[in-house]
Structure 1
Amino acid sequence: MTALVAGVELGGTKCVCVLAGGPDDIRDERRIDTRSPAETLPEIAAILAEWRDAQAIGLASFGPVDLDERSDHYGRIVNTPKPGWNGADIVGLARARGLPFGFDTDVAGAALAEGRWGAARGLDSFAYVTVGTGVGVGTVMRGQTVRGLGHSEAGHLRVPRLAGDAFAGACPYHGDCVEGLASGPAIAARAGRSGESLAPGDPAWEPAVAALAAMLHNLVLTSAPERILIGGGVLGGQPTLLPRLRTALVDSLAGYGAAPAIAAGIDDFLQAPALGHQAGPMGAIALGLDAL
């Protein structure tokens, strides 16, 4: 019988708490707005306290977060642009219950969920990319999420700009990094209106596609994934973006190294996540199951 996990996907705007053994075994689910830590964390703790059947807890949080268990700040959010959340103690939610727990970023958790139940099943190395309010990347190698001094922040890579592009970018830390050029807020700032209202041929998409393709190029050449899954609100609202990114990635790799094999199977190599909106909450469940 599958173990029951109390999972928490803590996002920048909302939090999903779920009691489940997997995507086909969901016993309860609660959604709350992400407000201040003083408001949000006690509400999550109260939900976790209700779920007495849980055997482990999985915590998948927006970041950056400290994943170094030797650090005095382990389990806390660090250097985030979200007001009021610097230093917020996320793993304290699990320690209060005294259960085994897993903790990672929300995108890393989603990557693990896709590896366990979704479009990366059977693969040793893959990446999960979400493009929405920010650009997040979770990378898995040999079944483990990549971490070291911090965790993957490939959404903040600095990439070449299109010739003549003078847009300053929307990232409060780096300006014109990938997130500053291709996130939902960046596209809205450039176009003067939300991406949902833009036509597929709107010129605002061209620099976003170029920035994302450059990031994907770098992922291919640094972590050598067997597959990249890319989704999120920006791509979900514009079905033409995924085919454009496939073409742009093949062109960017220009036949180097593994590029011919990638080009021959580009629809399989770069695809949408299979779990859709469940990837985040199931990422928290995957972290809890791994903790057991």
Structure 2
Amino acid sequence: MASFGPIEIRRNSPQYGYITDTPKKGWSNTDVVGKLQQALNIPVFWTTDVNGSAYGEYVLSTLFNQRLDSLVYYTIGTGVGAGAVVDGKFIGTMGHPEMGHIRLKRHPDDLDFKGICPFHGDCLEGLVAGPTFDARLGKSGRVVPLTDHVWDIMAYYVAQAALNTTLMMRPDKIIFGGGVTSEEFLKKVRREFAKLMNGYVDCEPLEDYITMPLAKNNSSATIGNFALALKNLES
């Protein structure tokens, strides 16, 4: 089970298996694992949705002869989150990463926008998640052309996330999925990333380093979930 978060992953916690203080209405303090195990009487592997996606891409990298030792997977959709896999294991023991809520330097053309995150306002999620289009422009991102300057602003923020991830973790690849992401948008992100990095560390070629998922139609998590279920069963 790969769930939106935040979730409790510490097995020694009385709230293990719960969705905790989530921005999603009606889901806070929900015992997901307990209810599933009670109803189905089967083992449950419990992690975040983005961890599931990251693991799916990790498995696929081997099948596509692109074996990776480490990767970070961001999803940009109704929210923003990221999962990290290093040598087949997830990052985080006290809890899972919440990379969607990192703080960023504001774009000079976006200083009046307060952001939409109910906890932090203008964190990464608050500045680039899908609902920010409605908040900024009063319309869905699906109808906003990539020539609109708002995409340049968002690329600046996403490039900062990629930069911070690179400098802190140095993964083999950073993958961006979710409904907001497209190859054309990532071209903008790569350009901003190159300017921000300014040649400090080598990540070339950027087309291979900052990429779309190998799994089509945002199906990375489905593949990852099956792989994690098999791994859980075998252990």
TM-score of the pair, normalised by structure 2: 0.92
Instruction: Give 1:148 shift.
Output: 2.2
Instruction: Give 1:232 shift.
Output: 1.0
Structure with greater proportional helix content:
2
Gaps of 5+ in 1: 1-58
Alignment of 1:16-95 (within 5 A): 59-95=1-37
Gaps of 5+ in 2: none
Alignment of 1:189-268 (within 5 A): 189-236=135-182, 239-256=183-200, 259-260=201-202, 262=203, 264-268=204-208
Instruction: Give 1:163 shift.
Output: 1.9
Q: Distance in 2 between matches of 1:136 and 1:274?
A: 18
1:114 and 2:53 matched: no
CA contact (8 A) 1:106 1:283 kept: no
Q: Distance in 2 between matches of 1:291 and 1:214?
A: 35
Instruction: Give 1:145 shift.
Output: 1.0
The number of residues matched between the two structures is 228
Q: Distance in 2 between matches of 1:283 and 1:174?
A: 30
- CA change 1:75–1:101 in 2 (3 A) is same
Amino acid at match of 2:193: L
Q: Distance in 1 between matches of 2:34 and 2:42?
A: 11
Q: Distance in 2 between matches of 1:278 and 1:88?
A: 25
Report the secondary structure of 2:180's partner residue.
helix
Report the secondary structure of 1:218's partner residue.
helix
- CA change 1:275–1:250 in 2 (3 A) is same
Amino acid at match of 1:195: G
The structure with the largest alpha-carbon Rg is 1
- CA change 1:149–1:113 in 2 (3 A) is same
Instruction: Give 1:283 shift.
Output: 2.3
Identity of aligned residues (%): 37
TM-score of the pair, normalised by structure 1: 0.74
Report the secondary structure of 2:30's partner residue.
coil
Q: Distance in 2 between matches of 1:100 and 1:73?
A: 17
- CA change 1:225–1:137 in 2 (3 A) is same
Amino acid at match of 1:115: Y
